[in-house]
Chains A and B, each alone.
Chain A
Amino acid sequence: MSSVFKKALSLLTGVEGDDSFIKMPKLRPFKGLTERELIQLESEIGSKLFGPIPDGHRRQFFNLDSKTWIWYEESVDANGVEKATTTRYEVQGLKIMKAQDGASYSYIEGEELRNLTVAIQMYYEQVMQGVYKRDPATGKKLS
């Protein structure tokens, strides 16, 4: 605590040097999290599912809502020019539509679909355990 604050406190309370009663625990409870903050936590796990992130790159992978998954990749090239790509995977019936930067649309299949499925299953297992502390198989809270 700064000396100025200590001095001001002792002037106000009349107690010199004893500031223990206003000390708060270091691990102060956090506020409840918003949906965006929870998604950010999930994305911390999601970004690591596809291997190491190269220097100068930033990656996010997360579940946006019940039908949408987002992959965001940001990098800086040798000339210092930033490049960012957002890929949206959207469940549409029995297909997955892939939309890149809102420009190109296609339905994914084959190996790409298999890879995405595996990534999402890993995401689910790790997010359920690491963020929500729940058993991925049963959905129940882990003790």
Chain B
Amino acid sequence: MPENYEQSNIYSLDDHRRPFSDGSDTTQFEHGNIINFRLSNLRPVDALVRNEDLFVKTPLEKPRTLAEQSVESIASIGSHLALVRRDHMDKNWSIDEIDRPKVSYLSENYQEVA
């Protein structure tokens, strides 16, 4: 341990006499005033981040009601069907490939050569 170890760690008032960027000296403030001064110089965004860190917690997921689950199911099916339909159109699949059900309108597209 160096001999001057304790000395080097002695609280020195001089360390706190460095001026702020505006040239003012910290010694002209009381301890509480220095803290207030520093907080008041925080940018709003800093304060916001700090507040979120301290106080905003991730909310617990609210359990879905049966009605909400039903709506989610309907929404999910609708989205999936729209995708499947689009997929068929994009690939230009024909009715023969999808094992057509017997429906009347098909006769419009079905032209026999006889």
Residue of A nearest to B66 (CB): A114
Give per-residue flags for A31-54: 1 if the beta carbon is below 8 A from chain B beta carbons, else 0.
111110111111011000000000
Q: Contact between B73 and A121 (Cβ–Cβ < 8 Å)?
A: yes
Binds B, one of A7-15, A78-86, A89-97: A89-97
**Interface residue count on the A side (C-beta < 8 Å):** 50
Considering the complex, which residues of chain B in the window 67-111 have a beta carbon less than 8 Å from any beta carbon of chain A? 67-68, 70-75, 77-82, 84-85, 88-89, 92-101, 103, 105-106, 109-111
Known: A35-B85, A35-B89, A40-B105. A67 touches B73 (CB 8 A): no
Taking a contact as CB atoms under 8 Å apart, the answer to whether B84 and A33 are in contact is: no
Residues of A within 8 A of B100 (CB): 41
- How many chain B residues sit at the interface, stated as a range, is 35 or more
Whether the Cβ atoms of B78 and A63 lie closer than 8 Å is: yes
Contacts of B96 in A (CB 8 A): 27, 29-30
User: Which of the listed residues B67, B81, B112 has the most CB atoms from chain A within 10 Å of its own CB?
Assistant: B81
Instruction: Please tell me if B113 contacts chain A, counting CB pairs below 8 Å.
Output: yes
Residues of A at the B interface (CB closer than 8 Å) are 1, 22-24, 26-35, 37-42, 44-45, 63, 65-69, 89, 91, 94-96, 109, 113-114, 116-117, 120-121, 123-124, 127-128, 130-134, 139
Residues of B within 8 A of A (CB): 67-68, 70-75, 77-82, 84-85, 88-89, 92-101, 103, 105-106, 109-114
